[in-house]
């Protein structure tokens, strides 16, 4: 059930957002422009004309690469997820330490993310909140992204020896999502520290019960 965090390398130039990667092709320019606008101004509120204007490309070029705005949204979510995970798991790999330390370091990395002036929250959380819950493409993209994190958390929980691996991973996921939303709404990075303290309480509690068993 492990998840090899070492396969991810810290992205020193691109950071955590696909929009920060210098575009090399016309498709990249469209993706970069769409990523920035979708993530900063909303998926529904951003029209095709705004994307074309920022990308400096023609409408025919956009529709050559993407059949619809919905297809472009799906591509942006996939790219944003891959870029963020490369940065996030790279940061965790660089910190190292025993399993408990690595699990709690999640919130230290989140605080670094929240402190970035360009922080706009999680595009998956934003997309799910913005679109109809029946939008399978958006929901499935968010679930795939979350599965990467849950798999890593479960791997750490197994190594740590917690009695209910799935529940601990879910508890951490709830704290992570809550901290992201709170930090986005308030622009206060310290919500990561609040979530970290709650995660410590959870780990101390479940490990205490394991020792008593």
Q: What is the mean pLDDT of residues 126-133?
A: 82
Q: Which of 67, 80, 102, 131 is nearest to 199 (CA)?
A: 102
Gap between the Cα atoms of 149 and 143, Å rounded: 10
Tell me the domains of the chain and their CATH numbers: 5-12+74-212 (1.10.357.10)
Answer with the residue of higher pLDDT: 31 or 208.
Answer: 31
Whether the predicted pLDDT of 133 surpasses 80: no
pLDDT at 132: 66
Backbone angles phi, psi at 156, to 5 degrees: -70, -40
Question: What is the C-alpha to C-alpha distance for residues 35 and 19, in angstroms, rounded to an integer?
Answer: 6
The pLDDT-based confidence of 212 (bands split at 50, 70, 90) is: low
Q: Would you give the DSSP letter of residue 161?
A: T
Q: Which two tokens stand for residue 105?
A: 């370091």
Evaluate if residue 211 carries a pLDDT over 70.
no
Position 152 pLDDT exceeds 50: yes
Cα 139 from Cα 159, distance rounded (Å): 30
pLDDT (0 to 100) of residue 208: 84
Q: Hey, CA dihedral for 193, 196, 197, 198, is it positive or negative?
A: positive
| pLDDT (tens digit per residue) in 12-30 | 334 788 888 888 999 999 9
* Calpha distance 133→165 (Å, rounded): 28
**The pLDDT of residue 210:** 66
**Calpha distance 25→11 (Å, rounded):** 20
Q: What is the per-residue pLDDT across 83-127, written as a single tens digit (0 to 9) for each?
A: 999 999 999 999 888 989 999 999 999 999 999 999 999 999 999
| Sequence-distant (≥ 6) Cβ neighbours of residue 143 within 8 angstroms | none
């Amino acid at each position: 059930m492990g998840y090899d965090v070492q396969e991810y390398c810290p992205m020193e130039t691109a950071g955590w957002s696909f929009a920060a990667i210098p575009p090399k092709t016309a498709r990249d320019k469209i993706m970069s422009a769409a990523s920035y606008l979708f993530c900063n101004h909303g998926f529904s509120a951003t029209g095709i004309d705004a994307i074309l204007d920022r990308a400096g490309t023609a409408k025919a070029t956009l529709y050559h690469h993407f059949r619809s705005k919905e297809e472009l949204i799906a591509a942006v979510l996939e790219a944003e997820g891959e870029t963020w995970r490369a940065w996030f798991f790279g940061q965790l790999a660089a910190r190292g330490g025993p399993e408990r330390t690595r699990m709690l370091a999640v919130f230290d990395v989140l605080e670094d993310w929240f402190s970035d002036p360009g922080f706009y929250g999680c595009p998956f959380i934003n997309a799910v909140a913005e679109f109809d819950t029946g939008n399978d493409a958006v929901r499935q993209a968010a679930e795939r992204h979350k599965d990467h994190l849950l798999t890593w958390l479960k791997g750490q929980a197994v190594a740590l020896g917690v009695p209910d691996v799935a529940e601990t991973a879910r508890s951490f996921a709830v704290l992570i999502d809550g901290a992201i939303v709170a930090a986005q709404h308030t622009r206060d990075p310290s919500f990561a520290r609040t979530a970290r303290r709650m995660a410590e309480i959870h780990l101390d509690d479940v490990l205490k019960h394991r020792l008593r068993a």
